[in-house]
Structure 1
Amino acid sequence: MRILGIDPGLRITGFGIIDKAGGRLSYVSSGCIRTPAGELPSRLKSIMDHLNEIIAEHRPEQVAVEQVFVNVNPQSTLMLGQARGAAICTAVLNDLAVAEYTALQVKQAVVGQGHADKEQVQEMVKRLLNLAGSPGADAADALACAICHAHGGLGLGKISTAGYRMKKGRLV
């Protein structure tokens, strides 16, 4: 199964593609979509156009997208949600199944704890996919999202976070 992971962002959208064969994961491709400065509609179109190219070239079977978290700035959250919506629409228009994961689920699946920092995620993605070097932060987050999906949304300890919420740093 080929999985496209997406870490949405209005300025930079990370993407990562992995193959899953049995319990083995292998790296296919990753990178960043950088949108040009300008009006929102043209930036969203840029995300959609680039994702269409990536989907056409790599032919993923499923897509995993990181869910939006609420920022201190509501305007930033709204903009991020629109970039995420553009990514989901692109996948759906290409007849791909879309799964959504919280940052907590992604970090738990890759690092083993939900409050890992970016460097820990990058290092574990590097190790899990047997890469020569660490991918950039946005590409690593997208690859981590794909890895989370490949693990069925389960953490390394096989603890599902579905139906739980965070309270004071713990799943409840």
Structure 2
Amino acid sequence: MTSPVAHLPTRILGIDPGLRITGFGVIERVGTKLAYVASGCIRTPDGTLPERLRVILDGVQQVVDTYQPAEAAVEIVFVNVNPQSTLLLGQARGAAICGLVSRSLPVSEYTALQVKQAVVGYGKANKEQVQHMVKRLLQLPGDPQADAADALACAISHANGGQAGGLLGSLGTRGRKRGTRVVA
């Protein structure tokens, strides 16, 4: 007998952080079925770093207020070439996470490798492959914008694996309970 709780919808917000463009994607999971709700980008104007971080923080809070997700998944970003870029991207990611936790959302984190492996089946998939698979998995009429597709992929990854269970758990990752990082 199936539990009625298994059929309640769970709304998940995925975030692909960036200082210029932060992608977001909202999906709904009912049992094993996924449905597209919304996606888009938070674009920061030229300006000082604090002003740009404020735009990300406010934008994420507005997305949460508008779509009322129950859970959030954020991509862990790695930029190893330029330390300054890595620092700036980390601050953008921090602003996005602050926007989520300020609305009391549990936040899970996934590496790009984990997200691509879960959605495409190949951890080194390119952006076009991710866009195509997101389009197929959510039955969208066209490919979503790249940053929004990455955010939707993060949400799909979370929906399919949740706190390192399911698919992500089978990929050799180790996870801890709600609100903590999923580590490889």
TM-score, scaled relative to structure 1: 0.91
Structure 2 residues not aligned, in runs of 5+:
1-9, 175-183
Which of 109, 117, 121 is the matching residue for 1:100?
Answer: 109
Task: State the SS of the aligned residue for 1:13.
Answer: strand
Which of 115, 119, 122 is the matching residue for 2:131?
Answer: 122
What RMSD over aligned residues (CA atoms) do the two structures have, in Å?
Answer: 1.8
Letter in 2 for 1:87: A
Instruction: Say how many residue pairs are matched.
Output: 165
1:28 aligns with 2:53: no
Structure 1 residues not aligned, in runs of 5+:
164-171
In structure 2, what is the equivalent of residue 38 of structure 1? Answer: 47
Runs of 4+ in 1 over 2 A off after TM superposition: 153-161
Structure possessing the higher relative contact order (Cα contacts under 8 Å, 6 or more residues apart): 1
In structure 1, what is the equivalent of residue 173 of structure 2? Answer: 162
1:59 aligns with 2:68: yes
Separation of aligned partners in 2, 1:43 and 1:79: 11
Separation of aligned partners in 1, 2:79 and 2:44: 22
Letter in 2 for 1:17: V
Task: State the SS of the aligned residue for 1:28.
Answer: strand
Task: State the SS of the aligned residue for 2:170.
Answer: coil
TM-score, scaled relative to structure 2: 0.85
Separation of aligned partners in 2, 1:87 and 1:36: 16
Separation of aligned partners in 2, 1:95 and 1:123: 32
